[in-house]
Structure 1
Amino acid sequence: MIPELNQSGVLPPFIPEKGPTDPAGMAPYRTTITEFVVRYSQSPERITILKGLLEYRRKLRETGITQGFQWLDGSFVENVELTRGRPPADVDLVTFAFRPTSSIDEWKNLVRSNTELFLPDESKEKYFCDAYFVDLNLHPIHIVSNTRYWFGLFSHQRESYLWKGMIEVPIQCNDDKAMQFLEEVSNA
């Protein structure tokens, strides 16, 4: 479930009725990719970014990265059109996933041959995704450190330090349904 934006035009960091101590009402808000797409497809610019996101996710799964989830955030999940007078340029995302191989050499080769999935400048250019990756095969100390970093970065606006929420979607989701929705919206 994606809550409504608050008066500042951002997702609330927690649902006020539940309070900040109820995990069921705290960000990141778990949802499906289809609900995310339906919620944020209100302009041609957003539809282009969403199509890029779905293509990024498809390519990620093609490499064998299927077990995990993504945090979606940035100005894309805000009312940036109203608060900053412009459309979003991309969607920020961090993929938390297990490597598809136990061999570190095979993993390095996979990353080297798919740099557009792992280098943010390339993922922005090709998929409109400011994309990062957290390897869930790492030692738990490193996973906690990475999670702390990304949660701290994503839970506040960079310029204003405004506290805000984010979205979580599983990597394995009904992306075809979401793409079908976008095609229908684009052709309407």
Structure 2
Amino acid sequence: MAGILPPVRPGTNPAGPDRSPYTVSLHDLVNRFATSPERAAILEGLIDYRADLYKIGIVDGFQWVNGSFLEDIETNESRPPNDIDVVTYIVIPSGYSQASLLPALAPLMDKKATKAKYKVDAHVFDLKQVTIPNVCYWYSLWSHRRDGLWKGFAHLPLDPAKDSTAQTALVRMTASGFGS
């Protein structure tokens, strides 16, 4: 009703487990949010960002995605989203240490560069070094809008094998004019 993902799935137990972050596939995210050229460009950037993670061997982990991209910002603020906010929790590939992976990973952690290249406001954390305060920080930051409205966000598993279906769906939706 407020143009946001609800923090708890409507009609379910408010203290139950069916709540944010909602686990969805990249394909589901594309099918739901590729509704305009601006949104398609952001999704294309996210797909490219994930592909570049895979190229350096990061294939295990997940992403939390949020921001105005997951809201009906077009109605609420009369503008399209500018980017998508992404926290990527990774498993360092075997054979690498955090230090040895850092040179390849650094460009994918540079907020200014990732916003320019991918339209992704990126944050990356090694799951082995994630602390409860880190998770609590992101959950509490992302579970509310700046105006205090409680909201939900999405959890996307990293899955190189399935990302190509999302890319195909995005191309199809873009070619069809977003259902118009």
Fold conserved (TM > 0.5)? yes
Verify the 8 A CA contact 1:134 1:143 in the aligned structure 2: no
Alignment of 1:15-54 (within 5 A): 15-23=9-17, 25-54=18-47
Query: Could you tell me how far apart the structure 2 residues matched to 1:81 and 1:43 are?
Result: 10
Q: Which residue of 2 aligns with 1:161?
A: 148
1:60-139 correspondence to structure 2 within 5 Å? 60-101=53-94, 103-104=96-97, 107-138=98-129
1:109 deviates by 4.1
CA RMSD of aligned residues (A): 1.5
Q: What is aligned with 1:150?
A: 138
Please give the TM-score of this superposition, normalised by the length of structure 1. Answer: 0.88
What's the TM-score, normalizing by structure 2?
Answer: 0.91
Deviations 1:116-152 (A, max 9, x none): 31121111111000011121121xxx42121111111
Partner of 2:170: 182
Tell me how far apart the structure 1 counterparts of residues 73 and 136 of structure 2 sit (CA, whole Å).
25
Partner of 1:170: 157
Find the residue that maps to 1:113 and give its secondary structure.
helix
C-alpha contact (below 8 Å) 1:32/1:169 kept by paired residues:
yes
Residue 9 of structure 1 pairs with residue 9 of structure 2: no
CA contact under 8 A between 1:65 and 1:99: conserved in structure 2? yes
**TM superposition shift of 1:101:** 4.2
Unpaired runs of 5+ in structure 2?
Answer: none
What stretches of structure 1 of length at least 5 have no aligned partner? 1-6
Which structure carries more relative contact order (alpha carbon 8 Å, separation 6+)?
2
Could you report, residue by residue, the CA deviation over 1:130-176 in whole angstroms, capped at 9, with x for unpaired residues?
Answer: 011121121xxx42121111111111112x01110001110015110
Residue identity matched to 1:36: L
Runs of 4+ more than 2 Å apart: 101-104, 107-116
In 1, are the aligned partners of 2:3 and 2:71 still within 8 Å (CA)? yes
Distance 1:144 1:181 in 2: 36
Task: Report the number of matched residues.
Answer: 175
Amino acid at match of 2:32: R
* Contact in 1 for aligned 2:24/2:155 (Cα 8 Å): yes
